């Protein structure tokens, strides 16, 4: 995960968002995405929709995540 965050940081991404295990991801720094103002485009327990701030000076986030069309989620 550290390597993935480094690559994302180098590419200029500010946050990483995951839909995942509430016991694993907090151990590596993820918190409920809603704490950053980030919402899922579907009903999801906030403990499972998490975000990690990749850039320390990240622009404050607020809004609903938009997935690529090929996922058929939005």
Provide DSSP, the chain.
-HHHHHHHHHTT--EEEEE--TTTGGGGT-EEGGGGTEE-SS---TTTEEEEE-STTPPPP-EE----GGG---
pLDDT at 2: 83
Region 31-54 average pLDDT: 95
| pTM over 0.75, yes/no | yes
The number of distinct structural domains making up the chain is: 1
Proportion of the chain above pLDDT 70, given as a percent: 99
Distance of alpha carbon 32 from its chain centroid, rounded?
Answer: 8
Section 54-61 average pLDDT: 94
CB atoms near residue 17 (< 10 Å)? 17
Indicate if the pLDDT at residue 74 is higher than 70: no
Tell me the residue range of the domain where 39 lies: 2-71
């Amino acid at each position: 995960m550290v390597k993935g965050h480094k690559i994302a940081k180098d590419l200029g991404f500010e946050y990483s968002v995951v839909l995942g295990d509430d016991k694993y991801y907090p151990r590596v720094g993820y918190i409920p995405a809603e704490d950053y103002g980030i919402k899922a485009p579907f009903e999801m327990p906030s403990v499972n929709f998490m975000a990690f701030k990749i850039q320390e000076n990240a622009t404050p986030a607020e809004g609903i995540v938009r997935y690529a069309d090929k996922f058929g989620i939005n």
